[in-house]
Amino acid sequence: MGDPREPPEGVPEGGSGNEDEYRSVVFDESFVRAARIQELSARERLSGAFGRATRPRVRLGPLGTVPRQALALLLVVLLAFGAAVYFGVSSPKGLPARPEGSQLTVSLVALSPASAVRPVADPASPFAALPTGYGDGTLGLNTPAAAATEHFSRVEVSKALDTVQRYLVASSLAPAALVQGATADVRAFVTPGEQAQFDSSTAQPVDDRHHALTGWVVRFDPARVALASGVVKVVGAMRVDEADSGTLQVTTDHTFVYALKPAGAPAAAPVTLESVRRQLTFEFDRVDLAQAQLRLVDSVLQAGPQSCASSMAGFLQPVLADPQGGAGAPAVPPSPVDPGDHGHPAWQVCGVLAGS
């Protein structure tokens, strides 16, 4: 029987037979003709009689064929990216950080009397000697009409001015704050980021440019001072600006004149006029406007007649006229300043009160 590896018609002439080392890879013409080629019929191709040996693939249009594992990984990545974008935009953590800490800077200036303090001529009409221009209470605040700025609407500016006016009433005109020691109504206007500073100033006031309570509110020691009149005279103005595109700024500059007498004194007791100038800078972002709160960032206060020797951080310390109706309390001239004495803050300032 012939070698099964030989062609059907035998080994061609000149061949090397079974000893040819290349006969397993070289096919002659008779071998090729004898090869059986089978082609599937149309019915067989449609019926899928001969299954494909490859794994199923998912086709994504122009991207070509992608395995299922790769498609699943792609979907996971897309979901993770979408979640990151969503929470980065919608979460409160994506908002700019609100200002916190000791934002308010306070400068206190005592105005010492140039001579003995004398009482007003008529206690029943204590403000008769004031120049024209002073108004009663809120009338003297001169709150301007609201107008839109570049980045804030007229309604937003109106909210800021209204909040500032109500703050000035609570901190400069209300008897509860002036002579009763109340601070809650003033604190209600302060943003959460400044409330810790306000509370520290209330608990332990100190003239360190950040924790003087009189930078927030005009107040007199109720153990020493009482109001001789329920009216407070005011003159001044407000200005609206923008600190930046997201911050509205309101600057106020007012002088308040109070009629004071010693605590517990009768109605006919001598009356002293105390003048307090407050120059304040407020800032608002849109959250502050929506909550009707404000950030007081700068406060300059001048008060007189005031003793330069007394601290103004917790209470203003007015020099009152002599209760006996005499020549009045002695003048307290400004104390000499020793620049080598580091026991006193360098920013402590004392001036001389002009006029009577």
Task: Convert the pLDDT of each residue in 169-195 to its tens digit.
Answer: 999 999 999 999 999 999 999 999 999
pLDDT in tens, 310-338: 899 999 999 998 755 444 555 555 666 67
User: pLDDT tier at 56 (50, 70, 90 boundaries)?
Assistant: low
Please tell me which residue, 59 or 160, carries the higher pLDDT value.
Answer: 160
The mean pLDDT value of the chain amounts to 82
Rounded CA gap, 130 and 274, in Å? 12
pLDDT in tens, 269-287: 999 999 999 999 999 999 9
Please tell me which residue, 320 or 53, carries the higher pLDDT value.
Answer: 320
Q: Using DSSP bridges, classify how beta strands 225-227 and 233-244 pair: parallel, antiparallel or unpaired.
A: unpaired
Question: Which residues are CB-contacts of 267 (< 8 A; sequence separation ≥ 6)?
Answer: 123
Provide the whole-model pTM.
0.71
75: DSSP letter: H
